[in-house]
């Protein structure tokens, strides 16, 4: 007779079967959890795709997806309308470069190069496209590179096009107006030189004229001389303004070739006349150069105007007994020119405006000299023409320092 605690032989297979079923149930539950999670992910992705499609298709701006060959994979109706086409089907499958204005094809080649060759994450340009009816329009293009498994290169470009024809037309009209005004100003400045020269010649003749010399009263002769002096001063101011205006027009119209120049030698020669002026005013002017010569690519005549303007200002605003220092030194990757004076300084409120055209910061100097309001504006233009930058530090009654860095 079997022991009560012993297990029947048939119970072992049943126990194994139960464990197997439990294992399968566990596995099925795990699969269901995974499937449910995947379903949630898929639903989220689908909702995301639906949102993107809604935004893409209903955007008022042109939207397209392009491949590395600039072929349009996907587009919205706004883009089709922008191009003068009734259906999106007329756009998809074509290359965007097919719609480029002949003069602006290279814009798209540049976009293609920047995105897919140089792997820039985004690229923005303004270009001109041609509609189906051959009319053209300006647009701002913003293209963003994004990964895509179906793309041959693994990346596609999501591109937005905004019609900016109105803004461009306004810009061109303003530019035309500016050019016209500049031309008129240049012509007027040029034509006024001769009358001013004639006035100066007449003044010289008047000073030696018998009628003036025969004036009996010393007071009357002094009054006439003062009046002639005022006319001469006004002519000088007008002549200085005309020279600045004409120089500015020449500067904006041309970009002359630069030459490698020994800056120390150049500065020393350019300062010769200013040394005489400084000596007459009792101002100590010195040039500080490093032992090793420093060279830079400059246009000598135009760059010389920088030193002329800065030294003229320094001399006008530095009292007798003051000092002016011109320094040159080599820094890492650049050259620095410094013009420092111990003059009146520039009030803090005026400093942000000293480089403005016809600046409100213009002031009469200590010696009766007046400025045209163009000197420092021209200086800044020349510095930037040499791919440099200029700035200043100044404190009233202590002096001013101008810094110029050249790459």
Q: Does 370 have pLDDT greater than 70?
A: no
Indicate the range of 21-25, 57-61, 133-137, 149-153 predicted with least confidence: 149-153
Report pTM. Answer: 0.49
Q: Which of 170, 172, 134, 141 is CA-nearest to residue 157?
A: 141
Q: Crossing angle of helices 263-270/272-280, nearest 10°?
A: 40
Residues in the chain: 407
User: What pLDDT score does 33 carry?
Assistant: 77
Q: Quick one: pLDDT band at residue 16, thresholds 50, 70, 90? A: confident
**pLDDT, mean of residues 257-275:** 91
Q: Quick one: pLDDT band at residue 394, thresholds 50, 70, 90? A: very high
Written as six digits, the tokens of 78 are 């706004």
Q: State the SS3 of 284-313.
A: EEEEECCCCCCEEEECHHHHHHHHHHHHHH
Q: Which residues contact 374 (CB under 8 A, 6 or more apart)?
A: 241, 244, 245, 248, 357, 358
Residue carrying the six token digits 């020393």? 268
User: What pLDDT score does 1 carry?
Assistant: 47
Q: Does 302 have pLDDT greater than 90?
A: no
Q: Which of 17-31, 215-229, 339-353 has the highest mean pLDDT?
A: 339-353
Strand partners, 178: none
Q: Quick one: pLDDT band at residue 190, thresholds 50, 70, 90? A: low
Contact 315, 364 (CB under 8 A): no
Q: How far is CA 332 from CA 139, 329, 335, 405, in A?
A: 42, 10, 8, 11
Q: Quick one: pLDDT band at residue 189, thresholds 50, 70, 90? A: low
User: What pLDDT score does 20 carry?
Assistant: 77
User: What pLDDT score does 252 carry?
Assistant: 59
Q: Quick one: pLDDT band at residue 165, thresholds 50, 70, 90? A: very high
Supply φ then ψ for residue 234, to 5 degrees.
Answer: -65, -40
Q: Does 322 have pLDDT greater than 90?
A: yes
pLDDT tens track for 201-212: 888 888 888 888
**pLDDT, mean of residues 270-281:** 91
Indicate the range of 37-51, 57-71, 341-355 predicted with least confidence: 37-51
**Long-range contacts at 346-355 (CB < 8 A, ≥ 24 apart):** 346/392, 346/394, 346/396, 346/400, 347/396, 348/396, 351/392, 351/394, 354/392, 355/379, 355/380, 355/390
Q: Does 6 have pLDDT greater than 60?
A: no
Contact 203, 232 (CB under 8 A): yes
Indicate the range of 46-55, 77-86, 93-102, 299-308 predicted with least confidence: 46-55
Written as six digits, the tokens of 359 are 């600046």
**pLDDT, mean of residues 136-160:** 88
Percent of the chain surpassing pLDDT 70: 85
CB count in 10 Å sphere of residue 284: 13
- Higher pLDDT, residue 167 or 367: 167
**pLDDT, mean of residues 50-66:** 82
User: What pLDDT score does 377 carry?
Assistant: 86
> Could you say which DSSP state residue 86 is in?
S
First vs last C-alpha separation in the chain: 109
Q: Which of 187, 69, 167, 89 is CA-nearest to residue 126?
A: 167
Q: State the SS3 of 307-334.
A: HHHHHHHHHHHCCCCCEEEEEEEEECCE
Q: Does 13 have pLDDT greater than 80?
A: no
Q: Which of 265, 259, 306 is CA-nearest to residue 289?
A: 265
Q: Does 323 have pLDDT greater than 70?
A: yes
Q: Quick one: pLDDT band at residue 243, thresholds 50, 70, 90? A: confident
HSE-up of residue 31 (Cα within 13 Å, Cβ side): 6
| Strand residue runs (E) in 107-252 | 122-130, 136-147, 155-163
d(CA 120, CA 45): 27
pLDDT tens track for 149-164: 776 668 999 999 999 9
**pLDDT, mean of residues 56-63:** 86
The H or E element that residue 11 is part of is helix 11-58
Domain range 259-406, CATH architecture: 2-Layer Sandwich (3.30)
User: What pLDDT score does 113 carry?
Assistant: 93
Which CATH class, in words, describes the domain spanning 170-253? mainly alpha
Q: Does 184 have pLDDT greater than 50?
A: yes
**pLDDT, mean of residues 213-230:** 84
Q: What are the structural domain ranges in the chain?
A: 56-163, 170-253, 259-406
**If you average pLDDT over every residue of the chain, what do you get?**
84
Supply φ then ψ for residue 214, to 5 degrees.
Answer: -90, 5
- Higher pLDDT, residue 219 or 34: 219
Residue carrying the six token digits 């246009």? 299
Rg (C-alpha) for the chain, rounded Å, is 39
CATH of 56-163, one of 3.30.450.20, 3.40.50.800, 3.30.160.250, 3.10.520.10: 3.30.450.20
């Amino acid at each position: 007779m079997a022991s009560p605690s012993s297990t029947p032989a048939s119970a072992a297979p049943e126990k194994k079967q139960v464990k197997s079923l439990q294992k399968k149930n566990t596995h099925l539950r795990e699969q269901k959890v995974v499937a449910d999670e995947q379903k949630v992910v898929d639903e989220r992705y689908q909702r995301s795709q639906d949102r993107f499609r809604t935004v893409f298709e209903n955007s008022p701006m042109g939207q397209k997806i392009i491949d590395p060959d600039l072929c349009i994979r996907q587009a919205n109706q706004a883009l089709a309308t922008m191009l003068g086409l009734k259906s999106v089907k007329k756009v998809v499958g074509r290359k965007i470069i097919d719609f480029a204005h002949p003069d602006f094809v290279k814009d798209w080649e540049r976009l293609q190069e920047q995105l897919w060759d140089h792997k820039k994450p985004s690229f923005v340009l303004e270009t001109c496209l041609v509609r189906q009816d051959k009319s053209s329009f300006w647009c701002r293009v913003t293209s963003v590179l994004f990964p895509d498994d179906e793309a041959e290169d693994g990346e596609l470009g999501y591109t937005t096009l905004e019609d900016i024809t109105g803004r461009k037309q306004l810009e061109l009209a303003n530019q035309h107006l500016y050019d016209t005004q500049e031309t008129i100003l240049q012509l007027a400045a040029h034509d006024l030189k001769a009358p001013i020269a004639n006035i100066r010649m007449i003044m010289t003749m008047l000073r030696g004229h018998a009628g003036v010399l025969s004036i009996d009263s010393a007071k009357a002769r002094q009054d006439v001389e003062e009046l002639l002096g005022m006319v001469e001063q006004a002519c000088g101011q007008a002549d200085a303004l005309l020279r600045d205006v004409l120089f500015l027009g020449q500067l904006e119209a041309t970009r002359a070739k630069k030459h490698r120049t020994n800056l120390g030698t150049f500065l020393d020669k350019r300062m010769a006349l200013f040394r005489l002026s400084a000596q007459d005013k009792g101002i100590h002017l010195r040039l500080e150069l490093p032992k090793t010569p420093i060279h830079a690519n400059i246009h000598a005549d135009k760059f010389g105007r920088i030193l002329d303007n800065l030294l003229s200002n320094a001399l006008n605003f530095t009292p007798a007994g003051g000092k002016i220092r011109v320094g040159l030194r080599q820094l890492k990757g650049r050259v620095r020119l410094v013009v420092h004076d111990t003059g009146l300084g520039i009030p803090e409120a005026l400093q942000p405006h000293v480089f403005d055209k016809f600046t409100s910061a213009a002031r009469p100097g200590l010696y009766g000299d007046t400025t045209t309001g163009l000197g420092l504006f021209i200086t800044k233009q020349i510095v930037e023409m040499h791919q440099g930058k200029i700035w200043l530090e100044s404190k009233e009654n202590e002096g001013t320092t101008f810094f110029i860095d050249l790459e």
